[in-house]
Structure 1
């Protein structure tokens, strides 16, 4: 990485860095260039600045410049130590409470609220008064105790927002531990909040140390900017006109505070990959390589394929007219239409009489009501229905990713594991222990989440997101092996392998979706659940992604549960279709039969609505 890429673009941030670097260098090297010890006396008293004494002398003849540079070490060290300790406490309280919720969150939130309502300075004075020693570390610890709460509250709110993002859900599905998710997935996305909290905690700590010393509660045997102000005030430096005694430490505190505040403007520039100076522009300016040429040719062929599919499918607006039904006034009263499956192959997942409820104060809301489906090896099962019909709840139950307060009230979900000898063993997914479930997800069942824009962690490179899966399920694989496998999977989904170092914001929507599919395939699972994988993609990119999925299915032989609102799409690609309405499976059977002979009024209404919209399936 070039050094100029690390230099901020903002003038305010540059000014802040220059100020802070100046004072740090002064604290480190300043004592080496002074000829006087900070407490040495014997010089003429109250001398103004001169060539011998750059900042003059005190009433007892001590060199003010020597005290100033030695005091910088103490004041900056106290600020830095207190800032670090304060943020450690804030991160632990905010992350743990915001991510785990429940009783832990309630207790930590009450503790945070207590420290927020107690005035910081009086508490600081009281605690300092009981210190057995008032050294630099002791003062820093006391300042930490009184300053962690505001940053913890902000970080908790940020964690509450991040914990429900799709990339966190994807990390859970890949088997990452809670600690890794908190500190590797959530915390990097909260770095701007943490860094900002550190800067302002450091400013507050420098001010607090100066305030305590000025009041005579700090360590008066240690030279700091605060102790300089204390002795200047006690010796009435203002009245005798010795401005050089109190102006340098007071001005330094104000300037270092301003410098740290200015740096705060540039936090996002480093924490957010999208805003890192120059990087996105340089990558955007690169000439299109083989990967982009392949994408263009794929797009052209996809467009031609879409047109050919429309003309050769034999299903047109006119033929859909034959499926129109007479209007029904009570779809719910019609019995479910369940037909036998004609898909060859052994079952891989069986769902029997599954019930999922959401408890509320007014009673349980049934999201999935006695649903039974069977997925065979190599089958593409399309799951259709309007929003709120229970599709995602059903797939989340299968993957054991239901969010509170949802609970499985009845039924069973069985995974039929194929052994090396060809025999099949049944695995009860609803009662699978946590460690076995962690190993099961992604190695045998993977997930492509609804929006790849949110399912990919925005602050991690593509290679790191492959690593998340491989570190958990292939711990013995070397870093070079993980990178090579990631590049191979990108090539299989039509992406230039060199894009493995890209951030998600540097990829198009279709490329992000392909990356999500590649990550799902990296361990070659038996089943992939795709939750509306083409949502938010334009029609041409949808066609490209679907053709890629079909090719990969032919190559790897995995089964798919494909969830979508688009019934016409399912009729084209599915082997079997399951139609859900208000949590109930209303029609289930081979895709050709559901199309040619829809039996449930709700299915007939869906098909007739396609004809009314001029759909060509």
Structure 2
């Protein structure tokens, strides 16, 4: 039930569709209260116009149209919902069974599905209906369900195949779980949104099919539905008699019911797959006109990227999750800045929020992110599209998987350049070849498909695409994940060489602190959504000031010297769904000071030029809002 309310609250389309459907259910249930007449009674005058006694007039046989509308809603809704339910059960069973069991089972089920997809829908309905004509409403329901399941089965099979190959399903199979439990406990919950959307699509198909069959005379014309009302109105020449109400009322209600099912379908898709809607807009900014507090910039060149007091996270039904908490970070022109910390500390959220790439339900709650003086959070969608890839670009985690497998590499390299106005084939080819030389790939691979490239080569292609328009800033979110250490080292050396050659700035996100020490000019350490230490790479390596940084660096073995036993950091980071009092590292810190660290949040203080740390071991200053002052 909570899931239903979540969908209705988050999707105006779903709420509108549910409202229409609820109103129709009430009309059907309250029919005896809303009209004193029977829908089949012929006790009234023929062709009576709408008025006080007969709200929608009467038919050629003297039947009350309003009564037929109310009682007809019962069978029309029954046909739509039951046919949709039966067809969805059939389609889900066949689609999931074929995907899970594979082999001969999948071959047989695919043949059956393909046969039903190839057969023309309406002629098949008419033929089958002719054989069961007059057998009642349930025969119509079964006919529509029997002919309407195949498309849903094909869609659900595709989704089930993707889930079948996911690691958690493979782990369940290896552990010996029974197929029934794997299907119902592991696979179907992950397909719930698609199954629900398929149900409403099939229900819409059922309502329209029943109306079409009845209008053509192949339905159960002895019963009262909105479809049979259209049949009798056409058969009796309602329009020739000027009795437009007899056709208009059921026709409009069928259209309205179809709209309700379609809105529910769109709404479920919108909520269960927010990227569909998010893809047409930038990251949601919820600061509502609030400006970030001014920052004091130390002497030196004007920063290329300046993130100021950024708050970002995720909007959930239980409240906002602040994954980034009042973070400030500057990146100078041509600088390589490393961002390190444990998983879940907010590194990727910070990068995506600052560059307006945070997917829904992500949002920016406050602060600013200025690139060359322009606040990206203030730009319109159109302005942001012009800036992306030209002034800054992104290399995503495991981004080698984003290459389209059926499109040649050349076309995918061209894509960003064409979107920014470079359309001359000669210029595109020359630039693509230059980029491949830059990242160390033979030019001949431009005409290859992604499957013909190794993982390291695909990662280089993505980096080449990110550099296509020579942006001022490239944000790299663990770009060498899943690659072996030798390939990682090669790619990182090439990235650093390209940076120095082109003079671009890089924000590099990784767990590997030892790697950052070697590659970066400056390193920022994140913990629980906050930057707790920031310093030049060599200074940080030589003398980490924050206990978390020291423990994090100690977790990596030395490349030289005697073997030593290494240990992780005891405990776990605090949950970001709650407001944190005091230092976020307090519970895990070996140097914590009760009464101080657990009560006050340390201010980020520059203890030596270029080296900032937020820890009471080095400064008594506490942070209160955006103001730091001495503790009593």
TM-score category of the 2 structures, normalised to the smaller one:
0.3 to 0.5
- Compare relative contact order (CA 8 Å, sep 6+) and give the higher one, 1 or 2: 1
